[in-house]
Amino acid sequence: MSPADLRGRRARSVLAPGGGRTSAMHGAAPRGVVGLAAAFLASGTLHLVRPELFEPIVPRFLPAPRELVLASGVAELVCGAGLLHPRTRPVAGAASAALLVAVFPANVQMSLSHGRRAARTRQPAHGLAFAATVARLPLQWPLVRVALRAARAQDGAQPPARRAQAAG
């Protein structure tokens, strides 16, 4: 295929199922994947720019909180970027699911810390923060499901025209 053919394929867009538009070169990301990628990119950036915000939620039994926060920030950036490209989406989806499971103890630690502070201070704002962190815990699992859906995505293996040729 010549470079001109590739440019033409990249420039065209087609209607996707459901009426949305997608490029003729690559299929659309599975539902929720772009949002998960955006969340990872934002959170990963925040981990690197303001690591002190995340150090208190590193479970106490783990060593080197600053290094773990920085490493998880880099991992979130890599996963977020990988989810956005069809060719890397399956690997990034599996890595994202693993990362979400790996950081779950930090989310539990955050809830415990907020709960202790709310009980100690009895301030309504601290009680609300505690309630929000507890409510957030079960929301981690739908994110894992989105990541696993990305891991199963086959749209990155080859462009749709090649898939159609291979099937036909």
> Sorting pLDDT into bands at 50, 70 and 90, what band is 153?
confident
- What DSSP string runs through 89-158? HHHHHHHHHHHHHHTHHHHHHHHHHHHHHHHHH--HHHHHHHHHHHHHGGGHHHHHHHHHHHHT--TTSS
The pLDDT score that the predictor gives to residue 29 is 81
Terminal-residue alpha carbon distance, the chain: 19
CB 111 within 8 A of CB 131: no
> Tens digit of pLDDT for each residue in 75-98?
999 999 999 999 999 999 999 999
164 has pLDDT over 80: no
Work out the mean pLDDT of the chain and round it to a whole number: 82
